[in-house]
Amino acid sequence: MGGGVAEAAAAGREAVTRERFDAVLFDLDGVLTDTARIHAACWKRVFDDLLERRARARGEPFRPFEIATDYRLHVDGRARLEGVRTFLASRDIELPEGAADGPPGEDSVRGIARHKDALVDRAIAAGEVAFFEGSLRWLRHLRAAGLRIAVVSASHHCAEILEAADLGGLFEARIDGQVADARRLAGKPAPDTYLAAAAALDVEPARAVVVEDALAGVRAGRAGGFGLVVGVARHGDRDALARAGADLVVADLGELLP
């Protein structure tokens, strides 16, 4: 059994080479940064606020937003507004879409997204975003080997997070929430944002690797016909990522360093 583990590790280290691939497309939250933790905590604050007020108004028990289930299933990896709609639908809650510039704290899809965004802005400004060391080491190794690198994220904070850490220069292309909005690209689990990144780098999807920690993102990589989908299981969800279509699952990208 120990031999099997060693062989699997060796296969992982040889999975992404310059001979086999031209580019590696990284998700941001949960893959390069621990912003997934910040996003999850901010979503919990805004949804619990809503759920608690509704429960009180209706005399029903308050069932909080659970990061282990609600966040993973309905919000993680999805575009912001889509995450709000998907979670609300899971609780049979109907809210208006709301105006893009409505009042803060308004109970609408856009109002909830805006409130959450403000909490995330505060956390980024407070320097709460940390990068995973193993991810950066592997990314720098890939660059040195001649692979091209892009970041593909639903986040609207992608550029500011990379710039705050002085890491923007590592990426030749960035397809984030702002770019997706401007170009009307469908969010993950649709493959469109990953395909846009491959096109921006001028590489064939079959010659590109997708690296993801969210089920929606792994499905996007699979749907796009990419050459390899690497799942990053930070939550002990190896099997779920593999079932969603990940070819290879690691707990930390540092495991892929030769």
The residues that touch Mg ion, with contacts defined as CB under 5 A, are: 27, 29-30, 213-214
Within 10 Å of residue 168's Cβ, how many Cβ atoms?
Answer: 15
Q: Which residue is nearest to Mg ion (CB)?
A: 30
Give ∠ CA 176-199-32 in degrees, rounded to 5.
40
Closest CB 188 distance from Mg ion, rounded Å: 9
Give the separation between CA 197 and CA 24, rounded to whole angstroms.
10
Please list the active-site residues. Answer: 27, 29
User: Of the two residues 27 and 82, which places its CB atom closer to Mg ion in the complex?
Assistant: 27
User: Of the two residues 70 and 213, which places its CB atom closer to Mg ion in the complex?
Assistant: 213
Give the separation between CA 119 and CA 101, rounded to whole angstroms.
17
Judge contact between 224 and 206, C-beta under 8 A.
no
Burial of 163 (0-12, 13-18, 19+ CB in 10 A): exposed
Closest CB 39 distance from Mg ion, rounded Å: 9
User: Of the two residues 151 and 198, which places its CB atom closer to Mg ion in the complex?
Assistant: 151
Parallel, antiparallel, or unpaired: how do β-strands 23-26 and 228-232 relate? Answer: unpaired
Half-sphere exposure of 123 (CA within 13 A, CB side): 20
DSSP, collapsed to helix, strand or coil, labels residue 211 as strand
User: Of the two residues 35 and 50, which places its CB atom closer to Mg ion in the complex?
Assistant: 35
